[in-house]
Amino acid sequence: MTNVSHRRVSVDGLDVACREAGPADAPALLLLHGFPSSSHMFRDLIPALADRYRVIAPDLPGFGQTAMPPREQFAYTFDNLAKVIDGFTEQLGLTRYAIYVFDYGSPVGLRLALKHPERITAIITQNGNAYEEGLSDGWTPIQAYWREPSAAHREALRAFLSPESVRWQYTHGVADASRVSPDGHALDNHYLARPGAHEVQLDLFRDYASNVALYPQFQAYFRQHQPPLLAVWGRHDPFFLPAGAEAFKRDIPAAQVQFFDTGHFALETHAAEIADAIRGFLAKLG
């Protein structure tokens, strides 16, 4: 059995919660979750990797057990999420590490790569998009909010925050929904029910446009630095299309791409298979 520690780290006064396992002197792997989840999504992956790697999974600001300061005190932008996670890595003394990026974790992790390319040893992207062709039609109402940030467009996006919508994100595209534990989406809905949480998430929906604006910079980073990259993708993701996974090979010809017969939250059904892919990928890097 793997011992997983649950820690809290203060970053400029903001309390960041994280899960950590594995030898302190082992190669580090930073796991960055997505919307609307937390480090809980890595509960099966962490034990599968911690014998060989120091695995660290923080909750982003406003998510999980990490603090959710009022919007008047903390601007919920992806730049600020990345700034906090950058400070978190420095508090933990991470000077070289691989990143596993999923959904929102992708623009957060790739901002770290832009700022500290020398620190990133490898990238595992699980439905973590960096190309416009990876965006499905599911983004249409969010893109409308980017173009016109009106109260009406903001209100229309509240449907994404309903318990039914969160559950759907976990089960859509899954061949056997009974394999998806209800604990994940139940926990996400618990956190989303906190006072002020919906406004935080709506702010992030609006700011997601900043991530798309950075796609050319992310792609330039890929071309210049050629980081070892493994894309492990739920083929039936309703938000991030398989074309977004294949696109990595355009800028990193040696990138590896593997598809799994599942949806957005691929770890819910294919944690063992994804762990095997990661172990094989990282082992070749030495």
Answer yes or no: are the C-beta atoms of 129 and 123 closer than 8 Å. no
The pLDDT tens digits for 167-219 are: 999 999 999 999 999 999 999 999 999 999 999 999 999 999 999 999 999 99
d(CA 208, CA 212): 7
Rg (CA), the chain: 17
- pLDDT (0 to 100) of residue 286: 74
Name the stretches of the chain with pLDDT < 70: 1
Q: Phi first, then psi: give them for residue 40, nearest 5 degrees.
A: -55, -30
- pLDDT (0 to 100) of residue 93: 96
The whole-model pTM stands at: 0.97
Which residues are catalytic, by number? Answer: 264
Q: Which domains does the chain have, with CATH numbers?
A: 5-137+211-283 (3.40.50.1820)
d(CA 54, CA 83): 22
66, 279, 281, 286 from 52: Cα distances, Å: 27, 9, 13, 12
